Amino acid sequence: MNSLLPLVRNEMLKLWKKKRFFVIIGIIAVLIPIFTYAQLRVSLDRQEQIGTSDWRVSLQQRINDYANRMSSPRVIEEWRKWMSVEVQRLQYYLDHDVNPEEPSGVTFTREFVKNAVGLFVPLLVMVIASDLVSSEHAQGTIKLLLTRPVSRWKVLLSKYLAMLLYVSLIVTALAALCYIISGAVFGYGGWHAPTLIGFQVAGADIDTSNVNMIAQWRFILMELGLVFYTGVLVGCIALMVSVIVRSTAAGMGIMLATLIAGTILSNMVSSWESAKYFFMVNMDLVRYLSGDIPPIEGMNLSFSLWVLTVWAAASIIVSFSVFTRRDVY
Amino acid sequence: MKTSRWLWPLLAISSLAACLLLISGLIYGISTILYPAESNLQRVNVERDDQLNEDGVWTILALGDSITKGTGDATSKGYAGQVRDAVDAWDDTEVRLINMAVNGYTTEQLHTQIEQQNGVIVSIQQADAILLSIGVNDLYTPGEEVLPEDVADSMTQALSRIEDIVQALTELNTDVRILYTGLYHPLREIDPDGELAALLREWNYQVMQVADAYPQVVFVPTYDLFGDNGTRYLSGDHYHPNEEGYKRIAARIMQVLEEDWHE
């Protein structure tokens, strides 16, 4: 422990000096205003189209819109299922007089984080984690690091801890910036707006026997926790790649390809059942909170958590065994 | 490498705090999802609110089946959209159309919709005019064989529901104008003996009687609009009207609304 703390400190400060965290903050600070504006346009457009500001009427119209599209015989089965679940979920909100999209900075944050878990957060984590080891090789500093009187596994462990701490910073900063920026447009309230959780998807139907109402801040807290777990998993995989592949560019390429393949897969794997063992298909844990339909039927939170944990554990084992045995020259 | 003295403590404390917060959120989230509490939520019924109609906007609400939805119209406006545009052209009053019609709806589904969908209940109270078409899906399914005996059977039930629907609508909004679009006969070619024609005429006659019992309800006939060369006004499916057909229905409705408007 005595030797580990300075190592973690060293890693944290090194990452800080590399200005990677500023890059991430910059990316977030540029993207969120764009999405805030887009969201504003969408809600103004919708209001204009329907000609009413009463959310109950516009939500009801959206529901009936889905119902109409479902009635067409040309709709793909997957879509029909998705719309059927969506119709039942939204109608449940309406039946209980809860606005699922009460416009506020908190609601925007909730929705943004939910959509960010699949690709955006993993990419940000990758910016930090994918060259943690390989850059030491590239710059030749790996020798300096390994000639210190500490065991190799401690060096690697300190990198893992630094990654873990930075992932927490990224997720928190994402939510905070999202709230601050979008709040300027949508208002800073909404912490106590009612939110429904506990929808269980069963095929094309939804089970509402466990649906409960919670304050929105609780939803966001849980949501961020789940996003954090996904972020740490991505960090572990990226670190493993960075241990195995000595070139930073190649490591980043591998991670990018994997993540993007994952989003494509999630949209098309529904008929390929064994694809559910890929970690990329399981990254969106937030859907189990909001009650969205999972990419493959039968997936649930415990399954996804198991898959993610097994992948993370395997990547940790691989990187430790490679890192402690590899010849450095 | 010069590092300011406070950077490390600041970084360590903030990241550690963030980490603990997120871990507690994770545990909270997992336990909430895995061990959900029994739901104790009750359906909330919208309260009747007479203010809803007083918003200064002339609201047209469209309810019913695919005819009101506008299926078959290339511009997807349907007769409801045409009516909206025509009323909008009259004067400066702001007009809005809320279309809640769903393809394939039957009288039973419409009745449930009016009783249960909160968004529909709100818009009924907002409405100044309700455009309604319903019943044809109770009688027969297009594309399937039509058996006159079956049609006659389902008619009685459907007619009593029409009455329930009108009753429910007028209870929610006493001064709303309700315009019921009558049925026309798109299948004349496959009905040479006129068996179905007789039933459709009977239906229209019965609904007209219901309409007469309520001063707000007007029956708008369309049977003659799609006569022997009616296919000209039907869309590619030989069942729903096309853009021109919907224009003809809209013209009829406008005649009723114009009369109201000038009163």
Whole-complex ipTM = 0.90
Whole-angstrom distance, CA of residue A227 vs CA of residue A117? 6
Distance from CA of B209 to the nearest CA of A (A): 30
Whole-angstrom distance, CA of residue A239 vs CA of residue A281? 20
B117: phi then psi, degrees, rounded to nearest 5: -80, 110
Write out the two tokens for A86: 């969506």
Q: Which tens digit of pLDDT belongs to each residue from B89-132?
A: 887 778 889 999 999 999 999 999 999 899 999 999 989 999 99
User: Between B1, B118, B123, which is nearest A97 by CB?
Assistant: B118
Give me the residues of B, 86-115, that contact A with CB < 8 A. 96-104
| B29–A51 CB contact, under 8 Å | no
Q: Which tens digit of pLDDT belongs to each residue from A90-139?
A: 999 999 989 888 888 999 999 999 999 989 999 999 999 988 888 888 78
- Which residues in chain B have their CB less than 8 angstroms from residue A225's CB? 22-30
Q: Which tens digit of pLDDT belongs to each residue from A167-181?
A: 999 999 999 999 999
Question: Is B49 touching A (CB cutoff 8 A)?
Answer: no
- Which residues in chain A have their CB less than 8 angstroms from residue B143's CB? none
Question: Is B10 touching A (CB cutoff 8 A)?
Answer: no
Q: In the prediction, which pLDDT does A329 show?
A: 66
Write out the two tokens for B58: 């002339």
Distance from CA of A325 to the nearest CA of B (A): 31
| A225–B29 CB contact, under 8 Å | yes
Distance from CA of B202 to the nearest CA of A (A): 29
User: Between A52, A169, A225, which is nearest B26 by CB?
Assistant: A225
- Which residues in chain A have their CB less than 8 angstroms from residue B8's CB? 9, 12-13
Best of B16, B39, B93 to substitute, by most chain A Cβ atoms within 10 angstroms, is B39
Q: Say how many CA atoms lie within 13 Å of A116 toward its Cβ.
A: 28
- Which residues in chain B have their CB less than 8 angstroms from residue A210's CB? 36-39
| A226–B26 CB contact, under 8 Å | yes
Q: Which tens digit of pLDDT belongs to each residue from A257-277?
A: 999 988 888 877 677 888 889
Give the homologous superfamily in CATH for domain B52-262: SGNH hydrolase (3.40.50.1110)
| B18–A172 CB contact, under 8 Å | yes
Residue A282 identity (one-letter amino acid)? N
Whole-angstrom distance, CA of residue B228 vs CA of residue B241? 14
The torsion defined by the Cα of A236, A241, A247 and A250, in degrees rounded to 10, comes to -110
| Sequence spans of domains, chain B | 6-38, 52-262
Q: DSSP state, A64?
A: H
Nearest to B246 by CA among B80, B63, B60: B80
pLDDT at B38 over 80: yes
User: Between A16, A56, A228, which is nearest B7 by CB?
Assistant: A16
Which DSSP string do the residues of B207-221 spell out, in sequence order?
HHHHHHHSTTEEEE-
Least CA distance to A92: which residue of chain B? Answer: B43
- Which residues in chain A have their CB less than 8 angstroms from residue B104's CB? 71
pLDDT averaged over every residue in chain A: 89
Q: In the prediction, which pLDDT does A159 show?
A: 93
